[in-house]
Structure 1
């Protein structure tokens, strides 16, 4: 069973979100990393780009497939994790830590997100 930290919020597309002072840090969940397999390429939105919650904003390529990265929230991209772009394996090795993908200045509340219990139920349905 994949780890699902209680202090994070989640999307049905398997992204995690941590919000602090109106800035959301975004990554993919351990479950998503396991399903994708070895991630070999990460395309992230650029700093300064506007993203819309629920819309694709990047791509993750693994040895198995190419998957869209969906924006979990609406806002302006503040920062991207260059370490992940340089070494995509970091996402597999530490998806909730060093493998974060980007940060976003929120345009509004992040209401549409799942809590850890809701996300756990979602991935159990998929197994």
Structure 2
């Protein structure tokens, strides 16, 4: 499954109408030590570009934005008990899975090479 990135520093794994979302290594590095992840509830409706979760660190709080309209179908309960898992392995510490009405247009997002260039600026 290909990974895509947003300008808000979320990573997305898109599989048809489902998208798994987490924070990029860059975002986690900028946040520092993560102390709390506010998870959405399963069945919550989300709207594209609206925040649905937040990640708190000792430095600041970062909102997590939905890449498309849809419904939360799964959340990573591990982050409730172990928010530090996000620091240990950002690529594995997904926050939620959103199911959308239509397949997501990946042209709205960056691939890994474009994201590396974006974060180097």
Instruction: State whether TM-score is above 0.5.
Output: yes
Alignment of 1:80-91 (within 5 A): 80-91=75-86
- 1:110, distance to aligned residue in structure 2 (A): 2.2
In structure 1, C-alpha distance between the alignment counterparts of 2:112 and 2:67, rounded to whole Å: 15
Match of 2:69 in 1: 74
Match of 1:3 in 2: none
Alignment of 1:43-62 (within 5 A): 43-62=38-57
- 1:19, distance to aligned residue in structure 2 (A): 1.4
What residue ranges of structure 2 are gaps of 5+ in the alignment? none
Match of 1:114 in 2: 110
TM-score by length of 1: 0.87
Structure 1 segments (4+ residues) deviating >3 Å: none
Match of 1:24 in 2: 19
- 1:122, distance to aligned residue in structure 2 (A): 1.0
TM-score by length of 2: 0.91
1:8/1:116 contact within 8 Å kept: yes
In structure 2, C-alpha distance between the alignment counterparts of 1:95 and 1:31, rounded to whole Å: 9
Match of 1:103 in 2: 97
Match of 2:88 in 1: 93
- 1:66, distance to aligned residue in structure 2 (A): 1.2
The Cα RMSD (Å) is 1.4
In structure 2, C-alpha distance between the alignment counterparts of 1:86 and 1:107, rounded to whole Å: 31
1:124 aligns with 2:120: yes
Other structure's SS at 2:36 match: strand
- 1:74, distance to aligned residue in structure 2 (A): 2.0
CA offsets 1:66-98 (integer angstroms, 9 cap, x no match): 11111122211001000012110011111111x
Pairs aligned (count): 119
What residue ranges of structure 1 are gaps of 5+ in the alignment? 1-5
